[in-house]
Every structure is written in structure tokens, then in C-alpha cells.
Amino acid sequence: MTAPVLEIENLTLALPAMADRPLAIQNLSLSIAPGETLCVVGESGSGKSLTALATIGLLPRAVKPAGGAIRLAGRDLLPLSEREMQDIRGREIGMIFQEPMTSLNPVMRVADQISETFEAHGALDRRGRRERTLELIAEVGLPDPPAIARAYPHELSGGQRQRVMIAMALAMEPKLIIADEPTTALDVTTQAQILKLIDALRKKHGTAVMFITHDFGVVAEIADRVAVLQHGIMVEEGPAAAVLHMPQHDYTKRLLAAVPSLVPPPPKDLSGAPKAFQVKDLSKTYRGRGFFRRGREVKAADHVSFEIGRGETLGLVGESGSGKSTVGRCVMRLIEPDEGQIRIGDLSIRELTQAQFRPQRKRIQMVFQDPFASLNPRRTVGRIIAEGPIAQGVPKREALEKARRLLDLVGLSANAADRYPHEFSGGQRQRVGIARALALEPEVLVADEPVSALDVSVQAQILALMQDLQKRLGLAILFVTHDLRVAAQMCDRIAVMQKGKIVELQPTAKLFENPQHAYTKALLAAVPGGRDVGATLAAAGIEPSG
């Protein structure tokens, strides 16, 4: 066996005094051989990103190594000075970060940012740098290298920017590449391309890859070996196939069980359910505004039509820019559509003025994506939930009383009403968001990516909660998501959106078995891990709360 490129031995990282636990990482030991991909998997707070930052010597100041060793090709990095680490970064370890949108300097041309890696390590002359930069841009699969080289980051898409990041990480042909959630911010088809690219480059250059992710689908695609982290402790480590199919530790089993399967559960019987919600020919065009000339136009929704029955969930699936969120907002009239009809039950709401619509707003409510930003931080949870009913004329005392009952309904204790949003975790806040939406007893619930900011185990709980509430309250749900796994488990029917149009609308099982449109097929093929990973929510053993 060849000597490992990276060997982490009994690494311990200490957190500052106010943190929720004293150690970020406790006695972590890992090794990666040349040409091998190790996936480090865990939920938020597991310490997986800190492991990566410790390896490249960029830990936040407050986090201090408290023991152990990180050996790169046999040399311990922890005792090295900042100056010595500077020489190793970029030359021997390449790093790819999560956020392609913000990880590149916005005022520097792409070529300058790539060749800066050479410059920092005194490699090549001016001309050589320029040539190598163009070669690298071509190697990571970007079209028209001279044009990309001259471009600024904002002129590139997210996937293209991530390719530039990869080119920078590869520049000095490092022994080790660390990729910290490199595809999390990308669309599923782009993610598939980037994963392929990283894997191809690993094979070609024999680079060792440490791949940080929370996504078991990605693990199934790319990992040779897997290390599972929970609260800073490695609970399981082994070959990818073994960990994915025969997990030993309870935590790994639970995580895997919480990954939604692409195989949908048996369909519900919805025959005879009355129509709760109808949208017909909804269109919305965004226009750039100019003083002397017309701006460009984007058709965000182009004659979108669908209906949802009582107790039914319709999935609205698509990649970023497909128009799915615009549709979600238009049907709420948070954005005014240009044309089309929207009916809640018998009421057509498009013709109403905003003032006439206001008393009817309670019939359609929304659950937002970001549980951190969508709750007013200066109000108690009880007030947040009661605000809607109070605005609709319910006496304050009664509304607050009801808020307590709702908190109980969504699986939080009633005394949560007196606390503030920051005292709750992400999953708990999303429960509050759901309780707020339900406070007005709506007939229709619009959920815009309600679980995409949550860890997989929490995500499963929130999905189970929504299904349970739907059964009890007969809600019609419009479920906007980019995640086909979640859609497979949650939705009765799925509408696939591309460039503002619904290209396919089918019952879920049929869509997954026999997709008709080429775009649907491409989306399904791009889901990492495919059908090998994931379980139905029922199999996850997560009981609907309540």
C-alpha cells in the first residue's frame, strides 16, 4: 500500500468558552491515499468544515488545535508557522469552497484570479502563467477560454464560477484537494457535471480528494471511502459501499433512513376530492426598466395552469430561474401576475383589488424557505403566530390562546409562545412558520422550498409533520422545490417547470417511472445517488408528531 497523502491523527479542536460544546473535533483520525476520494459526511455543527479548515490552516481565530497531528505526505502541519503554511496552501493543498457566488473577487478578471495562484508561489513567468491559465480554463470544461479569461465573475453562471474555483485549486497540481460542499449551491444538473469533473480530474492527476458534504446522494456518486461525523466525533468510517448499504452505527443508519427515496410511496386515494385551487394561464414577465429604451424581458411564468384538490399536494419542480418561486408568489398575489385566473374554491381572486382580497387572504397561506430570515426577531413566537388572526379581527386574547394550541399541533410545547425566534433551532423555527401559516385556517398552503435549509433528519420530521397536518386539515398544498427526492415523497402529482413553462405534469409515480419530457429525464438522471440511496419517510421510522 502506498503512503497516505493526508493523515490526521487524534486531532482535537477546542471551541471558545461560550460555544455550545468545548470541543469542535475530538480525537479525529483519518487518512487519504493518493487518487482516493474520502467523503466526510455530517449535519450542520458536526465539525466537518472545521476539519477542512484545520487541514489548510485557515481555522477561525477562536478555534484552536488542542492536540493531535495533521500530516501531509508525512510532514506535520500543525506546528508550522503562518509563513510556512502560506507556502503549502495552493501549492500542496487546493481548496474549493461552497459558495461560487461569493468566493471569487468581484472586481478581478478570471484570468488574474487563476494566475494569482502561480504568482503567489513564484511559478512560471508572465507568459507561462497566461498560457497555463488558458489551459486550465479549457481543462475544467469552460467554453471559449480567452473570453472566460477576460470575464469578471458576475458574468459567469454559478456552475461556471465553480469551474473557475476548481481551475484555481488545480493550478499548482496539489497532492490534496479539499472540496467543502462544492455543489450544494448548484442546480442538480450542474451538480452532476461538477461531480463528474472533480472525479475525472482526480483520476487524471492522481490527486487525493477530501470531499465535505451533507448529502448521501453525492457520497454515493463520488466516494471511495466515507467518514461520518456527529458532534465532532467520527462515529463510522469505511468503504463507501459498506457504509451506504450496511451502516454499523445508529447515527449513520438514522441519517441514511432520513434521505428521501426517489421511489414514491403508494399513491393516496384522492378520487372525489373537490377542487380547492385552480390556476389558469398565469403569466408574469419581468422587464428591465430604461429611461430612453426598453429593457430586456424575462418570461418567469408563461401560461402556467394547474389545479389542486382538497388534501392533495402538487409539486412544482425546477432549477433556479425556472420560474417556480414566481408562480408561488403570483398565486398569493405577493407579486401581481400579468394575466391568468386564480381560484380558491369558488372565489376568483385575480379580479379583486388588494383591499378586497385582504379579508380573503386567510384562505391561502405561505410557508417560506428560510426559517431564520422569515420570522421577526423582536416578537415572541406567540405574537408572530397570532398576528394574522389579530389582523383579521380576532380578539388578541383568543388569538394568543389559539397560537398555543397551534404550537402544540406542530409538535412544540405551548410555552414556546413566550420565547423569541432566536431561541429555536432551524427545524423548530420552520414548525413555527407552519403554525403561523395554519393560524388562519387556510384552504391552500403554498410551501416555497420549506425544507431546503434544513439538515436531512430535521427535513424528514418537517415533511412528516406537513403530511400529517394535511391529512387532518384537508389542506391543498402547492409544494415548490428543487429537490426531486423530497418531491417524490411529498407530492401526489408533480409539475416540472423550465424557463417559465410547465413542461410536464404527471402523477408522481408515473413521472418517476416513465418521464415524457427530455428535461424531466435530464433532471431525474442528475439526482446524485439515483435510486440506490434513500428510504421512504415511513421506513425512516419518523412518526408524524402530534
Partner 1 sequence: MLRFLASRLAKGVVVLLAIAVLNFALIRAAPGDPATVMAGEAGAADEVFVQQLRERFGLDRPMVEQLGIYLKGILTLDLGFSYRQGRSVASLVGERLPATLLLTGSAFAISLLLGTALGALAARRAGTWADTAITTAALLFYATPLFWIALMSQILFSLKLGLVPNVGYETIGAGYTGLARVLDILHHLILPALTLGLFFTALYARMMRASMLETAGSDYVRTARAKGVSPSVVTRRHVARNAILPVVTLAGLQAGQIVGGAILTETVFAWPGIGRLMFEALAQRDYQVLLGVFFVSSAMVVLFNLVTDLVYRAVDPRIQVGG
Footprint of partner 1 (CB under 8 A): 56, 58, 86-91, 94-95, 97, 99, 102-108, 116-117, 120-121, 152, 154, 165, 168, 171, 290-292
- Alpha carbon 512 to its chain centroid, in Å, reads 21
H or E element, residue 31:
strand 23-32
Minimum Å gap between C-beta 160 and partner 1 is 16
- DSSP states along 135-176: HHHHHTT-SSHHHHHH--GGGS-HHHHHHHHHHHHHTT--SE
> 94 or 421, CB closer to partner 1?
94
Minimum Å gap between C-beta 166 and partner 1 is 12
Minimum Å gap between C-beta 58 and partner 1 is 6
Q: CA 32, CA 268: separation in Å to the nearest integer?
A: 47
> 84 or 339, CB closer to partner 1?
84
DSSP at 504: E
> 119 or 418, CB closer to partner 1?
119
Minimum Å gap between C-beta 104 and partner 1 is 6
Minimum Å gap between C-beta 6 and partner 1 is 16
Q: Where are the beta strands (DSSP E) in 233-312?
A: 233-239, 275-287, 297-309
Q: Give the burial class of 531: count Cβ atoms within 10 A of its Cβ; 0-12 exposed, 13-18 middle, 19 or more buried.
A: exposed
> 95 or 349, CB closer to partner 1?
95
> 116 or 408, CB closer to partner 1?
116
> 24 or 527, CB closer to partner 1?
24
Cα–Cα distances in Å, from 483 out to 77, 300, 318, 463? Answer: 39, 20, 8, 13
Q: CA 139, CA 122: separation in Å to the nearest integer?
A: 22
Q: Which amino acid is at 377?
A: P
**The three cell numbers locating residue 60:** 477561525
Minimum Å gap between C-beta 120 and partner 1 is 5
At which residue does the C-alpha cell 416578537 appear? 379
> 169 or 505, CB closer to partner 1?
169
Region of residue 531 (left: phi > 0; alpha: psi -120 to 50; beta: else): alpha
> 89 or 284, CB closer to partner 1?
89
> 88 or 484, CB closer to partner 1?
88
> 89 or 214, CB closer to partner 1?
89
Q: CA 255, CA 233: separation in Å to the nearest integer?
A: 15
Q: CA 59, CA 159: separation in Å to the nearest integer?
A: 27
Minimum Å gap between C-beta 328 and partner 1 is 28
Minimum Å gap between C-beta 262 and partner 1 is 32
Minimum Å gap between C-beta 62 and partner 1 is 13
Beta-carbon neighbour count of residue 537 at 10 Å?
21
> 99 or 307, CB closer to partner 1?
99
Q: Compute the Cα dihedral for 370, 376, 380, 381 and give only its sign.
A: negative
> 105 or 514, CB closer to partner 1?
105
Minimum Å gap between C-beta 107 and partner 1 is 6
Q: Compute the Cα dihedral for 367, 372, 373, 375 and give only its sign.
A: positive
Minimum Å gap between C-beta 130 and partner 1 is 17
DSSP at 185: T
Summary count for the chain: helices (H), strands (E): 19, 20
Minimum Å gap between C-beta 371 and partner 1 is 23
> 161 or 363, CB closer to partner 1?
161
Q: CA 424, CA 447: separation in Å to the nearest integer?
A: 20
Minimum Å gap between C-beta 116 and partner 1 is 6
> 182 or 534, CB closer to partner 1?
182
Q: CA 385, CA 400: separation in Å to the nearest integer?
A: 8
Q: CA 230, CA 210: separation in Å to the nearest integer?
A: 17
Region of residue 309 (left: phi > 0; alpha: psi -120 to 50; beta: else): beta
Q: Which residues of 273-297 are buried (b: 16+ CB within 10 A; e: fewer)?
A: beebbbbbebbbeeeeeeeeeeeee
Three-state SS for 4? coil
Minimum Å gap between C-beta 115 and partner 1 is 10
